[in-house]
Amino acid sequence: MQLLIIRLSLIIFTLLFTNSCNEESASIPKPRGYFRIELPKHEYKEFNPENCPFKFEIPISALAVPDTNRLSENCWWYIVLPKVNGQLYFTYKDLNGEVNKYIEDTRTLVYKHTTKASSIDEILIETKSGIHGIVYDIGGDAASPLQFFVTDSTKHFLRAALYFNTEPNADSLAPVVEYTKQDINRLLESFQWK
């Protein structure tokens, strides 16, 4: 009787093992998934730093923090974006006739991302209030997906770079980048020199 049970068990095991090895039942790896991100409604407040020659609107949830790095200069700011786990770094310069130098410096910093970028689009901007500059939309897995500068070409130059506190991954960051671009567009539309 025991020999019969062992033989039946062996036959059943052999049938199950050989049946499970066909290609139709082989498991297929699933694509990597990402968490769903709940982004808040776009609402804004004015950012008007004392003793700085500019003002503009930022998201209500944003925190404006002065840059206290030993190399920082007057009117350098971090705009912390806690809802998207990122920040905008702002650097301001008095032009003193060096507009071309600062534009070229900005371009050089942007194009350092070419090793990871799949594209860099330069978008000329000019607002109703006469502010002009360039927005650099950087595609791919670059550390900074967007940078820009604005200037009046005679006295003022302001440069900004967007960074997220995570490993750059264009696919997973795409909704957050698009959301933040709307905030940056609002910033640029509301931007004024004082």
Q: Is 138 helix (H, G, I), strand (E, B) or coil?
A: strand
pLDDT, tens digit (0-9, with 9 covering 90-100), for 146-189: 999 999 989 999 999 999 999 888 888 999 999 999 999 999 99
Q: 20: part of which helix (H) or strand (E)? A: none
Cα distances (angstroms) measured from residue 87 to each of 100, 115, 141, 172: 26, 22, 17, 17
* CA distance linking residue 64 with residue 55, whole number of Å: 12
Structural domains of the chain, ranges and CATH numbers in brackets? 44-193 (3.40.1000)
pLDDT, tens digit (0-9, with 9 covering 90-100), for 69-88: 988 899 999 999 999 999 99
Predicted TM-score of the model (pTM) = 0.79
> Residue 23: what pLDDT?
54
Would you say residue 20 has pLDDT above 80?
no
Alpha-carbon Rg for the chain in angstroms: 27
